[in-house]
Amino acid sequence: MAATVGFVGLDASSLDMAALLLRSGYKLQAFEVNKPLMDEFLKLGGTSCTSPMAAGKDAAALVILISHVDQINDVIFGTEGVLKGLQRGTIVILHSTVLPLYVQNLEKQLTEDGQTSFLLDAYLYKGMSEVLNGKVMVISSGKSDAIAKARPFLSAMSEKLYVFEGEIGAGSKIKLVNELLEGIHLVAAAEALSLGVQAGIHPWILYDIISNAAGNSWVFKNFVPQLLRGSAQSSILNAFIQNLGVVLDMAKSLAFPLPLLAVAHQQLVLGYTHGADDDTPLIKVWEKIFGVNTVHAASVESYSPEQLASQIIAESKTVSRVGFIGLGAMGFGMAMHLVKSNFCVIGYDVYRPTLIRFESSGGLVGNSPMEVSKDVDVLVVMVTNEAQAESVLYGDLGAVAALPSRATIILSSTVSPAFVTQLEQRLQNEGKDLKLVDAPVSGGVKRAASGELTIMASGTDEALKSAGLVLSALSEKLYIIKGGCGAGSGIKMVNQLLAGVHIASSAEAMAFGARLGLDTRRLFDVITHSGGTSWMFENRVPHMLDNDYAPYSALDIFVKDLGIVARECSSRKVPLHISTVALQLFLAGSAAGWGRIDDAAVVKVYETLTGVKVEGKLPVLKKEVTLQSLPSEWPADPIDDIHRLNQKNLKTLVVLDDDPTGTQTVHDVEVLTEWSVESLVEQFRKKPLCFFILTNSRSLSSEKASALIKDICTNLLTASKSVEIDYTVVLRGDSTLRGHFPEEPDAAISVLGQMDSWIICPFFLQGGRYTIGDVHYVADSDRLVPAGDTEFAKDAAFGYKSSNLREWVEEKTAGRILASSVASISIQLLRKGGPNAVCEHLCNLEKGSTCVVNAASERDMAVFAAGMIQAELKGKTFLCRTAASFVSARIGIIPIPRILPKDLGINKERNGALIVVGSYVPKTTKQVEELQLQYGHMLRSIEVSVNRVAMKSQEEREEEIIKTAEMASIYLAAHKDTLIMSSRELVTGKTASESLEINFKVSSALVEIVRRITTRPRYILAKGGITSSDLATKALEAKRAKVVGQALAGIPLWELGCESRHPGVPYIVFPGNVGDSKALAEVVRSWARPVRLSSTKEILLNAEKGGYAVGAFNVYNLEGIEAVVAAAEEEHSPAILQIHPGAFKQAGLPLVACCISAAEQATVPIAIHFDHGTSKKELVEALEMGFDSVMVDASHLPFKDNISYTKYISILAHSKDMLVEAELGRLSGTEDDLTVADYEARLTDVNQAEEFINETGIDALAVCIGNVHGKYPPSGPNLKLDLLKDLHALSSKKGVFLVLHGASGLSKELIKGCIERGVRKFNVNTEVRKAYMDALSNPKGDLVHVMTSAKEAMKAVVAEKMHLFGSAGKA
């Protein structure tokens, strides 16, 4: 059922709104006492109401016309006022032009009384620009929730909508600014006409030229013809005086100076006193004020300056040689264009580098004005001012003395008409028949270089014909002005008067708008379509908004040009108040030191005086302050509701990912890299909640991306129909707004059909992307930077300016989708209304609309997702353009911890990792720099020259690829993590398509490099979206993958399919724009191959969990080390290399170093243990050598001394995270020449053991239960297993491992019994030593063969022990 809109009070603009609302299908009702207006309303199709109360009854929105403050009480609060019939939730739109203060007071009264929560104002007028001429423009303001609710109505009642969120009253404020400009422009136009006529220029000629030049304004173009024809009456002055008086009163209340408006107001007041009769033509009033007979001048027969120019050019003389003095910004372009037009040009400038540049570009140069003037037909003078013109013509080495007879001078500098007239007379007095053409130019540097200037030339016919071909070559528009020399400068002077005033008035207006609290960029947009606009307003205000004062035209130029105006008006006795005040403003800017920057910097005069900032950039926000200022999140977590709703919805979410980084918030989701109908059918049959299709379309041209999306959507349509499964398409794009929008949505819609709405949702928490108040922000440390002001917005292929998402949509669609028509889901709606409010909002959207989603937390995203699913269950269809966070919220992903190598079981892999960086965003470059800073000593870096692979020959490209692949293969095989990165200089093309082509060449080179690497990496990390996609699909040939999880927040980890070149190798997809500067280094650190796979403590902990023991094998040389490690790798067993003090005395540090190196290179856990340390000195030294653990052997000391000694070493070792083993009791026997006699041996006492463990804090206890070092007696071992059982009960309680020395010679049964009773480490020495010695006693072959046989003999013993201890297969 169509909603009803009520009107209380009608005027012409109300009828315009009503017509548009009816066209959009709304029902209308109105109360109005004026019968003709009501009759017009009824003709449109509305219905009449008897009172304001009746007009508000049952209305979804109510438009109230308030034309005077006195109406407020009766219309709104009266006995039959609108509040009596207003239903709750009705949107109240105040259609008013009263001052903002009254509107704000009314808002306060209504909201505080609880009468309405949705109140806003709307100011309507007709567009006046070419684009919006005659169209209905609505300016509305109010709180964000009111704006969001009212937007459908506002959009329907307007053809161009401007919304100002925040304080109500924006429409009235903009009206003030517009009236300020119109008033100043009106008086400036009158001054310009009067000065021009007094200078002898025909007013219609003046109008025709300036209305197409930089001095034009809407007022000048539309008002001057009425003025000259006498149809403009003086009666309009009173309305202007009243309106400008209101503006001045407002400015006074704000303590804001408006000097230009103040003097304009006074001029209008003066005019009113001269035009007491309202029927007096306004032109007559101006004649009285300025003392100029403009009416007579306008009645004189006119002519066509352009036709005169055509005639002059047709009769012009050939020019052989041109001199050119003044090669500044304008002059250089003009002179070069003459050179390119085949004139012989000799130039001069005081700045020597410019002369060199001119000569190298094909011109001739002279060393003085005199030198360039010899033998020329025409001399062009393009210097800054009259003083410079005088100097180059008549100063030392001046031009006039050297000019040949009958030569012509073209003076293109902006000088006064009087100077030109005097110069012509002086040239005539030279007696050489020298001619002068007065030819000031307009158009700027770019047009000067292309020969497209506007030139206003005057002089004698002979002079003009002599210079005609030169003037024609330099101009797009050439005007020949009658009146002799000085007439051209007269028109330029009048143009500069208007241009200068318009720049200054633009500054005054924008600064005043900023003081009123208006969004200055939006204010600029409104004014450009209104009567206050001017050529200079539209050209210069963007400089003010961007705070960019690079000098296109320096401020001091208007000090000069308006100075000329001031002198001329004084000499001609024409009072020009506006232009004189404008001159003072420019002088103030020059005095402040801004003379050499852009003339738009005159706005700084206002900014400095008042403290306002006109700059239209959105402010950078403090992140924490901003987030904390938002309403509290929706209290209930919607995740369970999402799961429940998804079970009902039965729609598969199909995510078309324009690069692989879109998987950065999900886990246990599949990714397809090809999309044949067969593959899609297979995927749909699995009935997944979601799957991704990797399109990588961001790397393609717009045309190719569109074709690709159409192809995929066609296949999706076919596949889904064959298995009867419904789905929703998400076009996952970059969270910084880069990508093919709207091309991809358009392509999808062309296949899938129109959706109820497009959803735009770039929020991405992990990447620091927030959307607040429809503005998209990128977090940078503790700041929120508007996206349009970041480096992402400057992307060569996908750049943009707008940070406001609604405006971004309009920008990217080139105006096809207007910002005013884009709906919005606010954070207030999400956090106060919850999923049901979201559903209602989505269901009320017009079909085919676009809706942006605000979000500042994962909860916001989940609330939206729940509401969207509800809307889908009601039959609504959506096409989503989102970042990654939406996908995980939509399918109800529950986050899991980041994935580490140990989670995938690859922490034992030894080959190097491959890190490939292709992304060029500045964040990536910073991350690579940080990676190299932190881990450069561990990495091997290879830089691929972008110049060689993208810009040079095929041979150089191939050479670079081969060299890089070979080096990487070698480094990876040597267990070195390897970084391959494109050189960091950014190479771009002249166009977006050229830049994409260069990106493709770089990416394809990286693909070819990875394809040719022969070593299987431990893992692969690809940095950058395009890079990661191309490597996965082209280099690694993956057709599908599973998203395992995230390597770091926002950094997805894939498991490539079995068809890929490296199945099972983890693939880390690292987006170019995610993480802080240390993020890449953090991932590489956490995924680095451990220096050792395990420590003694970890090995024994695993043994305890697994119920087995690990052998600790004494080693003495390299052969022994290699034997133990080789056996461990073959048997997949952990092992401990231990060094006895006796062995250390012989082999020293090299033996330890060999053990460490072997442990680092091993593919199974190997630890290094210092055994039987009896000397405090050697134990302390051992703590610094790289051992994982030490054994403190003080068993020969009394019990208390043993405790003290062991505790001392234990404290030192634990500070280095080393395991400490100690012995209680004493073994008999001999080990490495150390013998303990039988009478010295003693068993471990359980009670002493408890005290010993408590006091020393040891980690492992070597027990004496009848075991011995060396060989057991002929009678065999006599182990006290009951004692061992008691000791195990104690050690288990204390978390201490049991160790048994003297394992050589123990039977299988005894070993098994010891393990069952808690022994986790067996020391093995004698049997391994014997195998070694036996191999040496029967040497075979050379030394190398002896070493090999000895190693094999020891390895066999070690392997046997590993099986015996149960550790085989446990690594």
Q: Which amino acid is at 1234?
A: L
Q: 3-state DSSP call for residue 769?
A: strand
Give the pair of three-digit tokens for residue 226.
């009425």
In angstroms, the CA 217 to CA 534 distance is 4
Specify which residues 1219 forms β-bridges with: 1189
Going across the sheet that includes 344-348, the strands are 364-365, 344-348, 321-325, 378-381, 408-411, 435-438
**Burial zone of 887 (CB within 10 Å; 0-12 exposed, 13-18 middle, 19+ buried):** buried
Distance of alpha carbon 1112 from alpha carbon 200, whole angstroms: 112
Longest Cα separation, the chain: 143
Residue type, 320: S
CA dist 643 and 640 (Å) reads: 5
d(CA 55, CA 943): 74
Distance between CA atoms of residues 195 and 501, nearest Å: 14
- Angstrom distance (rounded) from CA 321 to CA 1272: 118
Q: How far apart are CA 245 and CA 297, in angstroms?
A: 33
Question: What does the alpha-carbon distance between residue 1227 and residue 1234 come to, in Å, rounded to a whole number?
Answer: 11
CA distances from 739 to 34, 129, 732, 736, 1268 (A): 55, 32, 10, 9, 75
What's the one-letter identity of residue 1090?
P
Planar angle of CA 359, 360, 365, nearest 5 degrees: 5
Report which residue type is found at 202: H
Alpha-carbon distance 213 to 220, whole Å? 11
- What's the N-to-C CA distance of the chain in angstroms? 72
**Helix, strand, coil percentages, rounded to 5, for the chain:** 50, 15, 30
Catalytic residues: 492
Structure token pair of residue 1104:
């305890």
* Distant-in-sequence contacts of 939-942, Cβ < 8 A, 24+ apart: 939/915, 939/976, 939/977, 939/978, 939/979, 939/1084, 940/912, 940/967, 940/971, 940/976, 940/977, 940/978, 940/979, 941/978, 941/979, 941/981, 942/967, 942/968, 942/971, 942/978, 942/979, 942/980, 942/981
Q: Dihedral angle at the C-alpha atoms of 566, 570, 576, 580, nearest 10 degrees?
A: 30
How far apart are alpha carbons 62 and 6 in whole angstroms? 5
Quickly count helices (H) and strands (E) in the chain.
55, 46
Report how far residue 182's alpha carbon sits from residue 137's, in angstroms, rounded to the nearest whole number.
18
Sign of CA dihedral 882, 883, 884, 890: negative
Distance CA 175, CA 1365 (A): 92
B/e letters for 773-782, b = 16+ CB within 10 Å, e = fewer, are bbbbbbbeee
Cis ω before 742 (30° cut-off from 0): yes
Could you give the C-alpha distances from 416 to 57, 85, 197, 326, 1026, in angstroms and in order? 68, 69, 15, 18, 61
Look up residue 861 and give its two tokens.
């995203």
